[in-house]
Chain A
Amino acid sequence: MTTPHQWRISESNAKLIGYRCPKCSWVSFPEKKRACKRCGSAPVEMMGFVMKPFGKIVSFVVQHRLPEGFETPLPLAIIEFEEGARAAGHIIDCKLEELHVGFEVEAEYRIMYEENGLTMYSYKFKPRRSH
């Protein structure tokens, strides 16, 4: 059964919703902030919109030692979306030697973990290919 916590995060897990500052156009992701981190406007009513699933790697690490339940080696990266927002995410469908800063990726809906008998889904990032 969906728990209150799962319900609260369901929309942000299903869609890549960014929040744009009406004053300076800075994009917050995934939280809707009440103050703009770039221009400092506060309080500010940020406008939600669905971002394109494309971005590039700004920084990454490869995890080799993790608890049970994780596939290793697991590349984790900071992604900068085309809209400018940044997020941390898993890198998938990729050879480790392909990874580099500036590597273009696209978001893909995947299984994240299981909680309360439900499979939880959200976005991971794979190399941007033409398909």
Chain B
Amino acid sequence: MSHIAGIGVYVPRYRIEASEINSAWARPGGRGRKAVAEFDEDALTMGIQAAHHALTHAGVAGNKLDSISFASVSSGYAEYSLAAQSTQVLGALVSANVADFGLSTRAVTSALQAGLDGVHSKRISHALVIASDKLIAQPGSSFEPNYAAGAGALILAQRGFAKIEGTAAATSGFVGLSRREGAFHGLIDERFVMQHGFLEAAQAAVMRLQDSVKISEWNHAVLQAPDERWASRLLKNLKIAPEKLRSGTAQIGYAGCATFVIHLALAFESAKAGEQILAVSYGPGGCDAVAIKVIERPKFSPSIKDILASGELIKYPHYLRISKLLRGEP
């Protein structure tokens, strides 16, 4: 099986409190904060930063990469290869395979599986998987306090600090989220989608995973889904203690594909050798579940917790301006 040899996380500098957004819309309360990308940041620039960190973490040079995959639902293009653009910037050889994954936040685990297959078959020695999103929710919507920006990247190789023990999928075809090009992120009937789109598929994927992989106990759980409450429901149904959830949503919000990798990095940071991580990724139409065994706890400098906890708070007008949601006279 394939291993994870490096992991990198990039979170933009700015944060906005959920309560600051709510107060702008005359709503009370609001928990947590979210990361906000600068006006000159997008899925590509954030993904490049995460990839640099992952390469440094793995001790691998860019020219050793045989494969670069880019997962994003916010590239802003109908046709444009973020993976191909990354190749030149990261110093990869022109012979490296490139692939773009999108149209669903589950793209991150699709990209991961493609990389794993390549490494497992020994066709590829080092695969880079980049997951990056800049989600812009409609101002005033209930998604605005949570939909955020960030990036993560993984280096897959024959050897590493964690072993991918198995993957499983469950695809129902339930369309929980659809969005036309250029529309705001976050159009979802949350409770209906959680029950039928997410919970049923996620549970089926985890059950299938547990049938194929020898599991003594899940020590850590990671979930990529747009709502933190979905994670509590899933863990409860799977009889996994809620304190095993590794999540940075309260510090940086939900960043689509990137959330999977960022939460995984948090799990690695708190894991001990021999522990097992359950990682679940949701996207319209189904879920993927991944079993990961930690061989050796990786070191991070600065720590992932510190990266998530840092940042500079901004006010709502500043957020609107750098998110290009506020425009002046032409």
Which residues of A come within 8 Å of B, CB atoms? Answer: 10-11, 14-15, 50, 68, 71, 92-93, 108-112, 119, 121, 124, 130-131
The answer to whether B42 touches A111 (Cβ under 8 A) is yes
Contacts A71-B39, A111-B40, A130-B301 known; A15 to B91 CB distance under 8 Å? yes
Task: Scan residues 33-85 of chain B and give those whose CB is less than 8 A from a CB of chain A.
Answer: 38-42, 44-45, 48-49, 53, 85
Q: What is the minimal beta-carbon distance from B193 to any residue of chain A, in angstroms?
A: 32
Chain A residues with CB under 8 Å of B141's CB are none
The answer to whether B40 touches A92 (Cβ under 8 A) is yes
For B88, give its contact among A14, A68, A71, A124 (CB under 8 Å).
A14
For B48, give its contact among A10, A50, A109 (CB under 8 Å).
A109
For A131, give its contact among B44, B53, B89, B330 (CB under 8 Å).
B53
The answer to whether A11 touches B42 (Cβ under 8 A) is no
Contacts A108-B49, A109-B49, A130-B301 known; A124 to B40 CB distance under 8 Å? yes
The answer to whether A131 touches B88 (Cβ under 8 A) is no
Contacts A15-B89, A108-B49 known; A121 to B38 CB distance under 8 Å? no
The answer to whether B307 touches A109 (Cβ under 8 A) is no
Contacts A15-B91, A92-B38 known; A131 to B307 CB distance under 8 Å? yes
Chain B residues with CB under 8 Å of A124's CB are 40
Write the B164-182 contact mask toward A (1 if CB under 8 angstroms, else 0): 0000000000000000000
- Beyond the given A15-B91, A92-B40, could you list 7 further A-B residue pairs with CB under 8 A, ordered by the A residue number? A10-B88, A71-B39, A110-B41, A121-B89, A124-B40, A130-B301, A131-B53
Q: What is the minimal beta-carbon distance from A35 to any residue of chain B, in angstroms?
A: 28
The answer to whether B49 touches A93 (Cβ under 8 A) is no
Q: What is the minimal beta-carbon distance from A81 to any residue of chain B, in angstroms?
A: 17
Residue in B closest to A119 when the chains form the complex, CB atoms: B42
Cα A121 to Cα B47 in complex, Å, equals 13
Chain B residues with CB under 8 Å of A110's CB are 38, 40-41, 45
Chain B residues with CB under 8 Å of A121's CB are 44-45, 85, 89
Contacts A10-B88, A131-B302 known; A93 to B38 CB distance under 8 Å? yes
Q: What is the minimal beta-carbon distance from B305 to any residue of chain A, in angstroms?
A: 13
Q: Total number of A-B contacts with CB less than 8 angstroms?
A: 45
Which residues of B come within 8 Å of A, CB atoms? Answer: 13, 38-42, 44-45, 48-49, 53, 85, 88-89, 91, 301-302, 307, 322, 330
Residue contacts A-B, CB under 8 angstroms, 18 given: A10-B88, A14-B88, A15-B88, A15-B89, A15-B91, A50-B91, A68-B330, A92-B40, A93-B13, A109-B44, A109-B48, A111-B41, A111-B45, A119-B42, A121-B45, A130-B301, A130-B302, A131-B307
Residue in A closest to B322 when the chains form the complex, CB atoms: A71
Cα A108 to Cα B37 in complex, Å, equals 14
Chain A residues with CB under 8 Å of B88's CB are 10-11, 14-15
Q: What is the minimal beta-carbon distance from A31 to any residue of chain B, in angstroms?
A: 19
Cα A108 to Cα B330 in complex, Å, equals 30
Q: What is the minimal beta-carbon distance from B4 to any residue of chain A, in angstroms?
A: 20
Chain A residues with CB under 8 Å of B89's CB are 14-15, 109, 121
Cα A110 to Cα B13 in complex, Å, equals 14
Cα A108 to Cα B42 in complex, Å, equals 13
Cα A112 to Cα B48 in complex, Å, equals 15
**Among B40, B53, B89, which residue has the most Cβ atoms of chain A within 10 A?**
B40
**Among B38, B49, B53, B322, which residue has the most Cβ atoms of chain A within 10 A?**
B38
Chain A residues with CB under 8 Å of B38's CB are 92-93, 110
Cα A28 to Cα B48 in complex, Å, equals 25
Cα A15 to Cα B48 in complex, Å, equals 12
Cα A14 to Cα B322 in complex, Å, equals 24
Q: What is the minimal beta-carbon distance from B10 to any residue of chain A, in angstroms?
A: 9
Chain B residues with CB under 8 Å of A68's CB are 330
Chain B residues with CB under 8 Å of A15's CB are 88-89, 91
Cα A50 to Cα B89 in complex, Å, equals 11
